[in-house]
Amino acid sequence: MRHLHPREAWAWLQQARRSLPASQQPLFVDVRMEIESLYVGRPPGVVNIPWYEYPDLTPDPPGFVRKVLQEAGSLQRPILLICRSGKRTLDAGAALEAAGFTDVAHVVHGFEGELDEHFHRSSRNGWRFEGLPWEQM
């Protein structure tokens, strides 16, 4: 799995959108719970496929892989994963690679980034901290 910092991930997505047909562009997957993605915010164009969902909070790796493959259409399509802080994407990416996906990357520090000394996110690193595009419900 490749580890891309937010600006690297955004540049990769933009370059692919300019030069590749849609079916070969990276599938950008938000693995957070749907409520997180909707209310906290998310990058534009991301597809929400939760690694786990409330109330169980228990990952279903085969179910997750099945849903990603359904969206991707191919095990060879590049996949870019994002979560809150870059932790869930490691497990989700490992499940995708174990299932045969050949090009998996994740956004280091995720959408909100690491906690600071006051237990706040988006103040040290992450997608939002970097000022990259995002939307919120």
Q: Is residue 120 part of a domain?
A: no
Residue 124 has pLDDT above 90, yes or no: no
Average pLDDT (105-128) is 93
Q: How many residues does the chain have?
A: 137
Q: Is residue 134 part of a domain?
A: no
pLDDT digits (tens, 9 = 90+) for 70-110: 999 999 999 999 999 999 999 999 999 999 999 999 999 99
Instruction: Count structural domains, the chain.
Output: 1
21: CATH: 3.40.250.10
Q: Is residue 16 part of a domain?
A: yes
- Please give the backbone phi and psi of residue 117, each rounded to the nearest 5 degrees, phi first: -65, -15
**Residue 95 belongs to what domain range?**
2-107
Q: Is residue 132 part of a domain?
A: no
Q: Is residue 82 part of a domain?
A: yes
Supply the pLDDT for residue 137: 82
Residue 13 has pLDDT above 90, yes or no: yes
Q: Is residue 99 part of a domain?
A: yes
The larger pLDDT score, comparing residue 92 to residue 118, is at: 92
The whole-model pTM stands at 0.95
CA dist list (Å): 108 to 22, 51, 58, 67, 83: 24, 17, 22, 23, 9
Q: Is residue 92 part of a domain?
A: yes
